[in-house]
Amino acid sequence: MTARRDPWGSPPWRISFTPQRHKLPSHLDFAIIGGGFTGLAAASWLRQLAPEKSVAVFEAARIGAGASGRTGGMVLGETAAGNQPGLGDVLAGFRSILEKLKVRCDFELTGAWEIARHQTSGEAKHQQSPIAWNDSGTLRVVNEVPGGALDPGKLVSGLARAAQCHGAQIHENHRVQNVNWSTLPELHLSSRGSQPKITAAKILFAANALSLPQSGLAGMHPRLTLAILSQPVSEKVLAAIGLAPRKPFYTVDFPYLWGRVRRDRSIVWGAGLVQSPDADDLEKVDVAAEESAAAFDRLEQRVLHLHPALEKVKFTRRWGGPILFRDSWKPVFDWHPQSVASEATRKGGGSEDSASRNAVVLGAYAGHGVALSTYLGTWAAEVLLGRRQLPQWSALDP
């Protein structure tokens, strides 16, 4: 039997964990929609803090099928909109979560380079930029920020393994079609022709750029973002192009470009956003189709012309993955609008008592979600358990 072609292409890392199969429960204390970093971290944390509670993750496809299994694997602090009040130290928190959950994912905190075509006087200390690439001007290092890289396949596998070891169930190929909010929230699922229903006391929506209507995320921008892999290069080539220190990099001006060197000296490069032809449904995008193919061609040409040492390099993979952002570039971490509405209805209108709200939506990290999704996923678990407040800066737009 031939393997089915992935319309979003295949990244180079492997997800080496298959969850155990379970009979579907009829009721749960906590239901999590989405088996990426956010949902899997939240599931592990819920069971770690409250082992007596029932927790299940419902994943429409396979764990890591969304951005988490396809991400570039660059680990950054803060959010795409910079630091936020009360956010805390994302990188230190991320490291501590990995330790507590015993997740091994080749995480290395090397620092990351911001690169740009412009150079201000304050950036004169980087006159000796190790990078001088030809890309609509000369790209140079203008700043170094805390950060690093990891193996995304190992992070997905490690978080899923931790969730299962702590007693959470993971149901792959179980799509949540909708949630009935009239009384106790009821999840309507679809799985291989059947339509089971499950009630849940509390829900976390962690579906990222897919299922926006169910998540209550109107007015956001879902896109497929593209990445390519160039074949392993020699240490001499890495030295020539300035990447011998293995620091991941991203541009702070346009045209956008990001990337990092993997352990086998192959290089991940990323740039380009593709929109769905039809009503924001990214599942309809095929990266082999004309628009994406042209964007991949442009990206490869840019890489080949960055530096003479790269002009003969070959590319071995092309893939894309979903990202979601809003105009402010701040992640969304808020009560689900329906959860607030049904609470007000139950109380005869008006009440905003967070202790009895029953659903949180978390996502929209833009291209800045590797560490943040795990970090905020555990925070969401604490909110759902009533042990912590939501941040002030992450409310849904009215």
Ligand X SMILES: Cc1cc2nc3c(=O)[nH]c(=O)nc-3n(C[C@H](O)[C@H](O)[C@H](O)COP(=O)(O)OP(=O)(O)OC[C@H]3O[C@@H](n4cnc5c(N)ncnc54)[C@H](O)[C@@H]3O)c2cc1C
> Which residues contribute to the site for ligand X (CB under 6 A)?
33-39, 58-61, 65-68, 70-74, 76, 175-176, 206-208, 210-211, 214, 225, 227, 270, 321-323, 363, 365, 367-370, 373
- DSSP assignment, residue 70? T
Q: Helix 90-101 and helix 152-165: axis angle, to 10°? A: 50
CB of 11 to ligand X, least distance (A): 8
Minimum separation from the CB atom of position 162 to ligand X (A) = 15
- Helix, strand and coil percent figures for the chain, each rounded to 5: 25, 25, 45
Q: Please report how close the Cβ of residue 63 comes to ligand X at its closest, in angstroms.
A: 7
Specify the DSSP element, H or E, that contains 241: helix 235-241
Closest to ligand X by CB, 56 or 142? 56
Task: Output the smallest distance, CB 360 to ligand X, in A.
Answer: 13
User: Which among 4, 51, 1 is positioned nearest to 30, based on CA atoms?
Assistant: 51
Smallest gap from Cβ 69 to ligand X, in A, equals: 7
φ/ψ of residue 345, rounded to 5: -65, -45
Amino acid present at 141: V
**Non-local CB neighbours of 246 within 8 Å, separated by 6+ positions:** 108, 110, 149, 260, 261
Measured from the CB of residue 366, what is the shortest distance to ligand X in angstroms?
A: 7
- Residue 49 in 3-state DSSP? helix
Radius of gyration of the chain (CA): 21
* Burial of residue 196 (number of CB atoms within 10 Å: 0-12, 13-18, 19+): middle
- How far apart are alpha carbons 162 and 157 in whole angstroms? 9
At 252 the three-state DSSP class reads coil
Nearer to ligand X, 200 or 323 (CB): 323
Could you give the CA distance from residue 23 to residue 26 in angstroms, rounded to a whole number? 9
Whichever of 125 and 175 has its CB closer to ligand X, that residue is 175
Return phi, psi of residue 16, to 5°: -105, 25
Comparison of 9 and 242: residue with beta carbon closer to ligand X? 9
Residue nearest to ligand X (CB): 369
Tell me the closest approach of the beta carbon of residue 347 to ligand X, in angstroms. 28
Residue type, 389: Q
Our CB check for ligand X shows the closer of 153 and 322 to be 322
Q: Does residue 10 sit in helix, strand or coil?
A: coil
CA atoms within 13 A on the CB side of 149: 21
124 vs 279 by CB, closer to ligand X: 279
Q: How far apart are CB 362 and ligand X at their closest, in Å?
A: 7
Q: How far is the CB of 23 from ligand X (least distance, A)?
A: 18
Residue 365: Cβ-neighbour burial (10 angstroms; 0-12, 13-18, 19+): buried
Q: Which is nearer to ligand X, 47 or 223 (CB)?
A: 223
C-beta closer to ligand X: residue 160 or 370: 370
* Cβ-based nearer residue to ligand X, 241 or 268: 268
